[in-house]
Structure 1
């Protein structure tokens, strides 16, 4: 445990803005951005110096015995500043800036289990390692990215872990742009391979081209070989065998069948046996059922029912 795990929350008190955490996470453009709360902008412990004298006790020899001495140590405010800066390098999407374990609302028991797995991982993370990651599988809008955001926020800001977030198709696009700028894929993958915790969202998304498969394989292989912790979210099922897809009759049969086949695709088919085998060793699997409600749809429907119609559309009496 580093010194920052002791007393970082102290100066925040019962602030109504940060809730005593001493920092705030907000949406800034398309990214989640952390800042130190106004309640902790001025440190009452070190007076803004960023360090303080700490008394230590050590036995140097039997003849001399135990002696006490003072050393300069970073104040909690310095560690907090470093963690806030480190969080702003994670790359979390702005839409999950306010994501936490406490505001995750499960509609299914499987969602509650997903939260429990992510929360246990975050609160019991061992900085000495190794730590087993997790894979969250389920339909769109079921809170997978929310849980990734809550997990990384806790790890970086509360534990002091170095972490990064990537959406896999955007990573592919970044590497392609790098090629045009004369950069190699390894220059971009390198830092992602070495970070303590990496969250990969939308695993399995893409065209499945040789370039994409080789990139994904290299990234996961590097992290697997180095025993680094990786978290994943995917829309593809973790089931071992594909369920039979019946042909839909009628005018739209061909398109409907194609959609049904895509829906039934398995993650192991999308990423290949080599990568899938490593995921089985690296992670705990959590699958959300296909009928898990889309929270975005539910929110939109609720807003549609509660908001009054525009003034021009109201019926006159």
Structure 2
């Protein structure tokens, strides 16, 4: 059978498990390459990068291969996204928690609402179209929010060829400061982030919360909001308007929680309002897997 589309081709491959690509590292970010075990030579064009067809006039014409060409574009989209190497294995299809992977009894209790959140994100990514409303994943530290975010970007790039970018907010601030030292303005860094079809911002609200930092996030959000571009977020901060107004004063944790900053306080009312217009807020409710892993050692 003649292969006309990339997704028509699958091969049992121990090197990539039918993915057609492998993922390694380039510095601190994940880097994908064509699998040399099953796709070293394109099955459609035999490595020529072009296929030949007869047009309506009977002439043989060369067309760029739609199989290896699509794979190369998807891989380039993933590499341009700059997903952290630590999350190179993050997928939505195979998302598991530490207990579920090991088949422990009671795993369902250990993973909270992660299966429902994962399924919701998977269907969203599978059916994604440009300008789609995004998501803001919020919850305590160690609940898998960054894993879900990285898995979503991986699916959009490697399965659909959507251009995207992944950033951790404080790393972005560091990159801008380094740019200043090199004589580059912040526009050279913020420009691409304001225009990429999908932007994933990890740990929104993290940092020293200076006026300059607030101006950076306001600029990114405002430009993407006005352009109708899809943005995804994670945050460890409370997303209520004011945590102290909704807490039970009789709670033993009242003093600690009442003094904790909310996301609204971290990013400002204007940005917080736009976040509600740009994204659905989804609570990720699960135990801290890092603490659980440490206890198992």
CA apart distance, 1:114: 2.0
Q: TM-score under structure 1 normalisation?
A: 0.80
Q: Structure 1 pair 241/125, CA: closer, same or farther in 2 (3 Å)?
A: same
Q: Structure 1 pair 278/22, CA: closer, same or farther in 2 (3 Å)?
A: same
Distance in 2, matches of 1:40 and 1:152, equals 23
Q: Paired residue for 1:16?
A: 14
CA apart distance, 1:108: 4.3
- Among residues 275, 278, 281, which one is paired with 2:274 in the alignment? 278
Range 175-184 or range 224-233, more displaced: 175-184
Structure 2 gaps of 5+ residues are 98-109
Q: Paired residue for 1:73?
A: 63
Residues 269-309 of structure 1 deviation map (CA, whole Å, 9 limit, x = unaligned): 211111111111111110124xx31112222323x2xxxxx
Give the 3-state SS of the residue equivalent to 1:32 in structure 2: strand
Q: Paired residue for 1:206?
A: 207
CA apart distance, 1:44: 2.6
Structure 1 gaps of 5+ residues are 1-5, 58-66, 305-317
Distance in 2, matches of 1:209 and 1:114, equals 32
Q: How many residues align?
A: 278
CA apart distance, 1:10: 4.2
Higher relative contact order (CA 8 A, sep 6+): 2
1:190-269 correspondence runs (5 A): 190-242=191-243, 243-244=246-247, 260-261=257-258, 264-269=260-265
Q: Paired residue for 1:308?
A: none
Distance in 2, matches of 1:121 and 1:47, equals 35
Distance in 1, matches of 2:181 and 2:248, equals 42
Q: TM-score under structure 2 normalisation?
A: 0.85
1:28-43 correspondence runs (5 A): 28-38=26-36, 39-43=38-42
Q: Paired residue for 1:181?
A: 182
Q: Paired residue for 2:105?
A: none
Q: Paired residue for 1:298?
A: 292
Distance in 2, matches of 1:124 and 1:248, equals 43
Q: Paired residue for 1:124?
A: 127
